[in-house]
């Protein structure tokens, strides 16, 4: 049947009107839209899909911009993602919209009590007080108040508020646990136990209460009682992830691995996703790496969108040296989502370990483009800069990571060490003084502070700091510092005893070995020192590191060349892959003109890893010595492609280009780069001066060559200066410097050139 145009128009009109009617009927009010998003977000949060929950709560906030609840719920989702900064901002917005939104005030106070700053703790106390004004018996507010007071040192007030909660709600978990901790800190173990027992009596069917009691028993060393409580919690709730973890960890610590494994295996099938990977982690930590990887692969396949699982699988691959598999997973993820910052960050760390520094930096720049506030990305960028020798950029990125996350202890300690090692020990000490209070008594912080105080020669505080560390843990780090201090005050016997004790705990701690050896040097007993190190090497026949150390120590302390070679050869035989020993042997071969042997060693290392900078640089110098100039230049350039700030490669390449390539402009640029990196090195001044000489700028050349001669004054540098004076027209000074050079070494090629040049000028 053919319809007329009029009929067609009528049908179209009816359809359009119908569609409009349907759309009109389906349109929700902003309040209803917000409620729908809020409900969806809560379901996603319950399923631990925190990222999607954040989006739903954000849409709810847009639909109802004056409602505090979406911001509160969004904060909870951010906490699920461990994004504490965003959580705090969301809570602050909720309180701003409704100063009487109690849940937001309490949660914000709880987060503030985790800080180490007194102003934030006072702020948490005030927030809790505001809630108590509205709801005088609110137990969560009372607990937040108590935590803030306890952390501010107001012990009496904090305990009083906890007692207030427990008087009204004896089974209140947080209050009971906190009160038990207070009593434990006061060494009142019986009182702590009674608080928790009372809580369990009040809530005998609550697994969390029973677990808390079990954890107390575990802390005080009553492992059988702890296990009984953990198993009791499992009787109440057989699928309690926390109880399974507690039982499994207790069994594993006791060495009952076979019993622990089926417990951890139960975790892998729980509905709560946070517990599922722990079985694979357990397998990996107990040497069953292939089984662990298979389990991680199963979990990742089961939930391919879970980035945390993917990261764990990648880490397992890397830990089992399956780098290509790890890189393949991350590259696939990035092909699907180029802005996947988690994948970029993890791949950059793989590239860093593999020595692919430019690839690492490329990924990190992408991370910072999408997520400029990523403290981790800045920290890894710092590591990459350090690897290529860019010290200033390394410190800059560490500082930025620390600015974004003041609690990043690793970045703070590395920055302090970098400052200390480059002559800014006072600045390093100030940096440590600014660390959060909770970190100041960590072993790592105390140790770093002691090294700085040693550098500053602050004798009383060094002794105090080392004693503090030794009281906390008599570990090699503090024993080595004790040895260093005692050597400094010339307590040789005490230094030797501390170094020996450190070596018993950590036989290959080369710092302890150094101080032990130095104790013999201090007493001028070189032969006895060599004998002691050899004894250590004999006791540990599989240790290449100790044999290598013996060789380098003998070399530094006037040992016989044959003894040095024997020690290094022994290290290389024990472990042919031990690079330091092999490179030391290669350098020794070059000095002794055993070029074929040196080349074989270097070729072997470069075949295993063609990004080995030191091996490549040694090969470049070997080619240079053999007058294989194109090969030398090629290898120097390869070094600089891997490590653009390698000052030795910059300087040597510049010199080769001057002597054999006539490329004075590039040579000068390279030498000036080296000068920026090492402003006090005379051999770089010599290269810069020689570059100016080749460019015909003789007065500039003389200026730099004078600086080189004043600091070092080798024969070749003296000849260079004599030639510069000659070409600048200062024949009197040229003659004087030439005579000095001839007395030092009349046989180098530069001697003939300098004499002929001066003769022509005269």
Domain boundary, last residue among 211, 234, 266: 266
Residue 270: C-alpha distances to residues 277, 278, 280 (Å) = 10, 11, 14
Residue 153 predicted with pLDDT over 90: no
pTM for the structure as a whole: 0.71
Determine, yes or no, domain membership for 107: no
Residue 328 predicted with pLDDT over 90: yes
Q: What value does the mean pLDDT of the chain take? A: 89
Looking at residues 144-161, what average pLDDT do you find?
84
Residue 457: which region, alpha, beta or left (left: phi > 0; alpha: psi -120 to 50)? left
Confidence of residue 162 (pLDDT cuts 50, 70, 90): confident
Looking at residues 216-228, what average pLDDT do you find?
92
Domain boundary, last residue among 247, 266, 285: 266
Interacting residues of 481 by C-beta distance below 8 A, sequence separation 6+: 447, 450, 451, 454, 462, 466, 469
Residue 1 predicted with pLDDT over 50: no
- What pLDDT does residue 31 have? 83
Residue 311 predicted with pLDDT over 70: yes
Determine, yes or no, domain membership for 190: yes
- What pLDDT does residue 110 have? 84
At 29 the three-state DSSP class reads coil
Determine, yes or no, domain membership for 381: no
C-alpha span between 605 and 69 (Å, rounded): 62
At 746 the three-state DSSP class reads coil
Which ranges of 172-222 would DSSP assign to H, the alpha helix?
173-185, 189-202, 207-219
Looking at residues 76-89, what average pLDDT do you find?
86
Residue 192 predicted with pLDDT over 70: yes
Residue 165 predicted with pLDDT over 80: no
Domain, as residue range, for 238: 170-266
Determine, yes or no, domain membership for 560: no
- What pLDDT does residue 467 have? 95
Backbone angles phi, psi at 506, to 5 degrees: -135, 85
Determine, yes or no, domain membership for 210: yes
Determine, yes or no, domain membership for 280: no
For residue 667, what is the domain's CATH number? 1.25.40.10
Residue 557 predicted with pLDDT over 90: no
Domain boundary, last residue among 266, 289, 324: 266
Mind listing the pLDDT tens digit for each residue in 663-696?
A: 899 999 999 999 998 888 999 999 999 999 999 9
Residue 345 predicted with pLDDT over 80: yes
Greater model confidence, 3 or 445:
445
Interacting residues of 350 by C-beta distance below 8 A, sequence separation 6+: 314, 318, 323, 326, 327, 330
| Residue whose structure tokens are 């008594």 | 441
Mind listing the pLDDT tens digit for each residue in 618-628?
A: 999 999 999 99
Residue 355: which region, alpha, beta or left (left: phi > 0; alpha: psi -120 to 50)? left
Looking at residues 307-312, what average pLDDT do you find?
90
Mind listing the pLDDT tens digit for each residue in 9-53?
A: 433 333 333 333 333 344 567 888 888 999 999 999 888 888 899
- What pLDDT does residue 25 have? 40
- What pLDDT does residue 658 have? 93
- What pLDDT does residue 469 have? 94
Mind listing the pLDDT tens digit for each residue in 232-271?
A: 999 999 999 999 999 999 999 999 999 999 999 999 999 8
Looking at residues 370-386, what average pLDDT do you find?
94
Tally of domains in the chain: 2
Give ∠ CA 648-650-655 in degrees, rounded to 5: 95
Looking at residues 491-519, what average pLDDT do you find?
94
Mind listing the pLDDT tens digit for each residue in 434-449?
A: 998 778 889 999 999 9
Residue 448 CB neighbours (<10 A): 24
Residue 630 predicted with pLDDT over 90: yes
- What pLDDT does residue 142 have? 84
Determine, yes or no, domain membership for 332: no
- What pLDDT does residue 46 have? 87
Determine, yes or no, domain membership for 66: no
C-alpha span between 353 and 585 (Å, rounded): 25
- What pLDDT does residue 26 have? 44
Interacting residues of 341 by C-beta distance below 8 A, sequence separation 6+: 366, 367, 370, 371, 374, 377
- What pLDDT does residue 274 have? 86
């Amino acid at each position: 049947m053919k319809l007329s145009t009029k009929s067609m128009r009528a049908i179209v009109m009816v359809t359009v009107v119908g569609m409009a009617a349907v759309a009109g009927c389906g349109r929700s009010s902003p309040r209803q839209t917000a409620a729908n998003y809020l409900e969806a977000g809560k379901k996603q949060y319950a399923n631990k899909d925190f990222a999607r929950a954040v989006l739903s709560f954000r849409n709810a906030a847009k639909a109802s911009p004056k409602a505090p609840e979406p911001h509160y719920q969004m904060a909870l989702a951010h906490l699920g993602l461990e994004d504490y900064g965003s959580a705090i901002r969301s809570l602050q917005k909720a309180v701003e919209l409704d100063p009487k939104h109690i849940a937001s005030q309490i949660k914000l106070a709880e987060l503030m009590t985790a800080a180490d700053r007194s102003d934030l703790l006072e702020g948490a106390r005030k927030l809790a007080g505001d809630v108590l004004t509205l709801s005088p018996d609110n137990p969560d507010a009372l607990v937040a108040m108590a935590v803030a007071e306890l952390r501010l040192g107001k012990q009496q007030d904090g305990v009083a508020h906890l007692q207030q909660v427990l008087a009204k709600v004896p089974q209140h978990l947080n209050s009971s646990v906190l009160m038990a901790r207070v009593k434990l800190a006061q060494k009142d173990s019986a009182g702590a136990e009674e608080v928790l027992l009372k809580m369990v009596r009040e809530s005998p069917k609550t697994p969390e209460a029973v677990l808390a009691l079990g954890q107390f028993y575990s802390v005080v060393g009553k492992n059988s009682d702890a296990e009984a409580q953990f198993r009791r919690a499992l009787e109440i709730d057989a699928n309690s992830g926390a109880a399974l973890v507690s039982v499994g960890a207790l069994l594993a610590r006791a060495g009952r691995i076979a019993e622990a494994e089926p417990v951890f295996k139960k975790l892998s099938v729980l509905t709560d996703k946070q517990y599922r990977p722990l079985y694979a982690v357990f397998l990996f930590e107990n040497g069953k790496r292939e089984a662990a990887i298979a389990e991680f692969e199963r979990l990742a396949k089961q939930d391919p969108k879970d980035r945390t699982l993917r990261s764990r699988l990648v880490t397992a691959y890397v830990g089992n040296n399956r780098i290509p598999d790890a890189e393949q997973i991350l590259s696939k993820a990035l092909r699907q989502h180029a802005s996947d910052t988690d994948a970029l960050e993890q791949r950059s760390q793989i590239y860093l370990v593999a020595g692919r520094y430019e690839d690492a930096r490329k990924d990190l720049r992408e991370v910072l483009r999408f997520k400029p506030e990523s403290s981790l990305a800045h920290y890894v960028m710092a590591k990459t800069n350090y690897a290529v020798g860019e010290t200033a950029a390394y410190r800059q990125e560490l500082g930025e990571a620390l600015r974004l996350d003041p609690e990043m202890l690793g970045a703070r300690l590395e920055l302090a060490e970098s400052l200390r090692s480059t002559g800014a020990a006072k600045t390093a000490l100030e940096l440590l003084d600014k660390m959060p209070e909770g970190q100041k008594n960590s072993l790592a912080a105390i140790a770093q502070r002691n090294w700085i105080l040693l550098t500053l020669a602050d004798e009383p505080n060094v002794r105090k700091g080392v004693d503090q560390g030794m009281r906390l843990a008599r570990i090699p780090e503090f024993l080595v510092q004790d040895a260093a201090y005692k050597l400094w005050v010339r307590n040789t016997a005490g230094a030797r005893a501390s170094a020996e004790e450190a070596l018993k705990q950590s036989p290959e701690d080369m710092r302890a070995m150094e101080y032990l050896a130095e104790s013999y040097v201090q007493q001028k007993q070189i032969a006895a020192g060599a004998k002691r190190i050899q004894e250590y090497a004999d006791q540990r026949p599989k240790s290449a590191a100790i044999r290598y150390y013996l060789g380098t120590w003998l070399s530094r302390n006037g040992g016989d060349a044959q003894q040095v070679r024997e020690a290094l050869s022994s290290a290389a035989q024990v472990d042919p892959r031990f690079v330091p020993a092999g490179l030391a042997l290669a350098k020794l071969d070059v000095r002794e003109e055993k070029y074929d042997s040196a080349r074989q060693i270097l070729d072997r290392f470069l075949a295993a890893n063609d990004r080995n900078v030191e091996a490549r640089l040694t090969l470049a110098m070997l080619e240079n010595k053999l007058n294989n100039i194109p090969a030398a230049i090629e290898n120097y350039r390869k070094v600089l492609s891997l490590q653009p700030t390698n000052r030795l490669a910059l300087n040597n390449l510049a010199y080769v280009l001057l002597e054999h390539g006539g490329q004075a402009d590039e040579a000068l640029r390279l030498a000036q780069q080296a000068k920026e990196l090492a402003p006090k090195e005379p051999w770089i001044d010599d290269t810069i001066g020689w570059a100016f000489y080749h460019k015909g700028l003789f007065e500039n050349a003389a200026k730099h060559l004078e600086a080189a001669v004043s600091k070092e004054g080798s024969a070749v540098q003296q000849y260079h200066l004599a030639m510069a004076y000659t070409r600048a027209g200062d024949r009197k000074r040229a003659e004087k410097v030439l005579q000095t050079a001839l007395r030092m070494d009349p046989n180098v090629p530069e001697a003939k050139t300098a004499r002929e040049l001066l003769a022509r000028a005269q």
